[in-house]
Structure 1
Amino acid sequence: MSGLPANPFNEHAWIIGDPAIGEGTWIGAFTVIDGSGGLTIGAGCDISCGVHIYTHSTTRRCVSGRAHADVDRAPVTIGDRVFVGANAVIMMGVTIGDEAVVGAGAVVTRDVPPRTVVTGVPARPAATVEIDGADVRFPAVVPGAAPGDAA
């Protein structure tokens, strides 16, 4: 027994709070799923191993020597059919649109539009997602262009 709270997704995942997780979503081992500030994960998502999703922050409380007594919280919403790569971090208050891709190791601090690939630290648009039945393409985004503007 791992000592983690039981959950129906992966015995090696730490899931706290009461997140709403859609049908057919897969959650890998060694993930931290923080639903304490409100978390919705859509249907058909893959949350890869080592992903951390945070809906709270103790930063203000810590650096103020506890003068800021509250733990800051903001909900996270992840749309349907979103892929989150290994070891990515999603920070509180973020919304990720349907059919988006978060690259491995990315740190998501801003909203991600639907059908957008984000990579890096902090995460930035790198490509779009084009779906035509079983044919899926990821055309690169021109640096400085808005998501949806393919190269």
Structure 2
Amino acid sequence: MVKKLLHPQEIQVWYIIPALRKELTLEMKKLGLDQKTIAKIIGVTEAAVSQYIKEKRANEVQFDEKTKEEIKKSAQLISQNGKLLFQEMQHLLGKALESKVICKFCLSRNDLPESCDICFKNEPKEDLSGQCSCNSDRHFCQKRDAAI
């Protein structure tokens, strides 16, 4: 049987994003939000929220403690302002890449060398002024953490 090659972006879509939704759901539940509200905020069905809570969905990915802390902060921000969902998901996807959870998952599913660093070859680099060379007006740094 031939193993299907999964691109890192497919891993993000099929595994990482659902795992982040699950962790956000669990954190929002701890904050006292009900399932209907959580479903509306994160854009999934109430059934999906129920499955996240009952550990019946998105169990393949395990985040490290540092990423879990970021998820907790993001859940607080998103629960206060649902419009921050996409911004915080992008932040959390960056943290998942930074922590190499995507790499571990990718290496376990694909026939790649352990030294693979494909996802890090074209990262924007910061110059000495602290400005990122990608010229984005939104970065996840001290400003975000200060808002919490």
* Structure number with higher helix proportion: 2
On whether the aligned pair clears a TM of 0.5, the verdict is no
- TM-score, with structure 1 as normaliser: 0.24
- TM-score, with structure 2 as normaliser: 0.25
Higher RCO, 1 vs 2 (CA within 8 Å, ≥6 residues apart): 2
* Structure number with higher strand proportion: 1
